[in-house]
A and B are shown apart, each in its own frame.
Chain A
């Protein structure tokens, strides 16, 4: 059996429709990370948290992306850069657990894959990878308030606590992410890498203020906007009564007549958020809950690694 076949067989478990049937979050995270690793042959986490350690001579088969061209120019010898993992990094995962995150159209019945499922899976995967590198990992579960805060630590017990908190979060509150980010910024004492996972169906000015607060405290921030395929495509055709989550009212309408205008509104909001992020040097990624988790995650991590070099 070839390696490619093994990889493709494994990746089928990373389909959200499959993951949705796996009840335990820790198992989901392990599957995602293992899938990620087997796909890239080396730790993707390296792109985030490792720093340069030393050079070694090039041998055939090595990835030429790691060739140190400056050394080659000076010495006419080929050396590769090697990185050393940073051990004092703190990773804080901020997960939006408001009611809007419970929306999901992928999968069916009890195995429906919601945005929250997607966000928690990403969060758990990152935590699993970070703890595997002995990094400290913390968690903020957010809705209208900072619902739960686990201070970052690299204790082996932290993994179980994170998994428990992500699985037990209440799902019936409104989003006030800006306020939560403000509260998180006040609680953090060390410079940290903060990963925010939300659909950002919120007051974007408040959100921007919270992000700016974090950047002001010199935290590095990564924003994942998690959206459902229905929210991205609005594929409805028949007359539909839309019942808004988070007490947003209801609307009976012909969806086809509103589709274009809705998508414009969504894109406009996304662009507003993206501009804010760029202005604050915050990495932004939109995650589609219908996509394979490893693909979207590794794509983001690869992009981030490239920009860091």
Chain B
């Protein structure tokens, strides 16, 4: 019966048996050198005629056996010496770093450090020299590197956030270079990706060449975001067994069992846009992981706007509202909400928001079918709603309204327009639809009202083709005579779309009582991903919103005049229009609010000529580089802004607040126990240490270093060969 060996047995034995299998093979091959020399010598000799042959032959006869014995003994010793030298240099059986193979400078095993440098690692420690968990992880990594420098091991360093530098991401025996990379590794205030880092470690193990042993050291604070977040959980579970196949995995936990952390997760302006025209409601989301609490302090610039009562905060704490904050002047403003007292992760105790307070909105109303009276004219109704004092073109109210015919859209410069209200479009051409699409995609807001005189077919061919409708207009539906008109499905106590936030608990707003006689029945296109803002009572969408590019399109299935609905005559109409505009018009403050680790991109419209000046929260000047011609909308780009907080950008005497936010996910410092870490990696066998280095692997095969004993044997054989050769020659 044939017994077949696994086909990969030999490579496996070589890989396990020798750190540098090539040297072992070389030893086996070179063992033949003495034999080859022997045969060459038999072919290369001098010829000498000799008279005293009888004495020479007699001497040979008497010594023949001795000479043969000596000859074979010397040859065997030489062969063995070469073979053993090859084996010794090949790091037999996976030796530790003090191997003879180290004379080639690559004798050691591969050690990979994956160090967590995400925002959560900034948790402040109360004991030891290290100020934060990250500093402690760096301290322990430094001690590991010091070990490996002595043992001539290879190392590389991978960070879970950001880059560590090219030297440290590939295995190198230059431990000093890895040490430098470690020293320069910054504490990042971004979320990390442990999965990607471990995938990189796996690639290094597979592609990094033969090593007698491989160890993977993961230094983290064992928090939920790193190990159990949805983004990485599956990846880690799959990676664990693969890593265990190529590495001895060690996890060093630098976190503490209890790391209660409170944070201000977000601050926002309810309604979207802050204006000088009306007070705005501000909302802050406090959250605590573990027991937390404190007082929220609201600040605009250096001025305290308000202070909350002491709150008890947990992971599901409700949003806190500071109502009716009024901004007297327009322009860039900053809001900071701070939790007092702070905790041991101070970077997430405050949240800053940079916003652009608007004094007036530029609105264009493009009217299709004009009615015979003001009530029948959608453009007029919209103008009166948005700018009540502007009849006849007066400059008053929140919005500066420009009422035009839809045919005037063609060729009009729309870059300064905050919103376009297209009322009862009846003759929109393809080119105008494309123009509108370009406007929306660039960040503009388009509000479309159907109405008397529209051509559904043409709308589908032009507006729908440019994705300016939420779906195809199937038909115009009119309530039959004697039939109850349609109504909005509005319940003030139910869950409302954010755009209807102002109507919560408002029983008499008129939304519930407004009657709709005619509306366009639309079949929503799933590809548009339109949200229903308000439906009709029969379930058909009445108001929708969908995104297109960086802008938004709001669709009203009925008209803005009173011919199709009584809504324009309701008190809610004005509020609804303003809420929609404030909630959809781009506040133009996205560039001022960035995540930590991002680069600030200063728009060209802000800095056209003068070089801006950027300072960090401590007032240190930061560098800005021109963005170049490749960036049509960006004038300058900064370096990565790592530290959360409020930066300042000075342009031509005007100051812009730049808010750099702490990643919300990193505030969850819920600590996982070793069993959870093991489970996260697929229940692999691994060593786990709490805030200290592991002892040397007592049971590892790495201790079986036969390199030096073999080299010693080589030296003994070489010495024996020299002695015997000398001794035999004397014979």
Contacts and interface: CB of A to CB of B under 8 A. Distances in A.
A84 interface: no
A264 B730 CA distance: 13
A269 interface: yes
Nearest to B46: A240
Interface string A259-301: 0111011100100000000000000000000000000000000
A99 B53 CA distance: 12
Contacts of A238: 45-46
A10 interface: no
A246 B47 CA distance: 16
Residue of A238, A242, A249, A266 ringed by the most chain B CB atoms within 10 A: A242
Contacts of A243: 47-50
Given A240-B48, A257-B70, A249 B53 contact: yes
Given A238-B45, A239-B44, A241-B45, A258 B56 contact: yes
A228 interface: yes
A254 B71 CA distance: 10
A244 B53 contact: yes
30 contacts: A101-B51, A102-B51, A103-B51, A199-B51, A199-B52, A201-B54, A231-B51, A231-B52, A236-B48, A239-B42, A239-B44, A241-B47, A241-B48, A243-B48, A244-B50, A245-B50, A245-B51, A245-B53, A246-B51, A248-B57, A251-B53, A251-B57, A251-B60, A254-B67, A257-B70, A257-B729, A261-B59, A261-B731, A265-B56, A266-B52
B54 to A, nearest CB: 6
Interface size range of chain A in the complex: 35 or more
A243 B51 CA distance: 8
Contacts of A249: 53, 57
Contact of B730 (A248, A252, A260, A269): A260
A88 interface: no
Given A244-B53, A257-B728, A265-B58, A239 B45 contact: yes
A101 B52 CA distance: 10
Interface in A134-179: none
Contacts of A253: 60, 67
Contacts of A262: 52, 55-56, 59
A30 B687 CA distance: 102
B620 interface: no
B55 A266 contact: yes
A256 interface: yes
A265 B58 CA distance: 7
B412 interface: no
Interface string A122-139: 000000000000000000
A50 to B, nearest CB: 37
B475 interface: no
A100 B59 CA distance: 18
B127 interface: no
Interface string A50-89: 0000000000000000000000000000000000000000
B316 interface: no
Given A239-B41, A249-B53, A258 B48 contact: no
Q: Is the interface of B mostly helix, strand, loop or mixed?
A: helix
B63 interface: yes
A5 B213 CA distance: 83
Contacts of B206: none
Contacts of B51: 99-103, 115, 199, 201, 228, 231, 244-246
Given A257-B728, A257-B729, A260-B730, A265 B55 contact: yes
B654 interface: no
Interface in B202-258: none
Interface string A218-238: 000000000010010000101
B729 A256 contact: yes
B62 interface: yes
B47 A240 contact: yes
B50 A242 contact: yes
Contact of A261 (B44, B45, B46, B62): B62
A265 B59 contact: yes
A242 B48 contact: yes
Contacts of B54: 201, 248
Contacts of B59: 258, 261-262, 264-265
Given A261-B63, A265-B59, A248 B48 contact: no
Contacts of A103: 49-51
B45 A240 contact: yes
Contact of B52 (A102, A201, A236, A260): A201
B431 to A, nearest CB: 102
Contacts of A199: 51-52
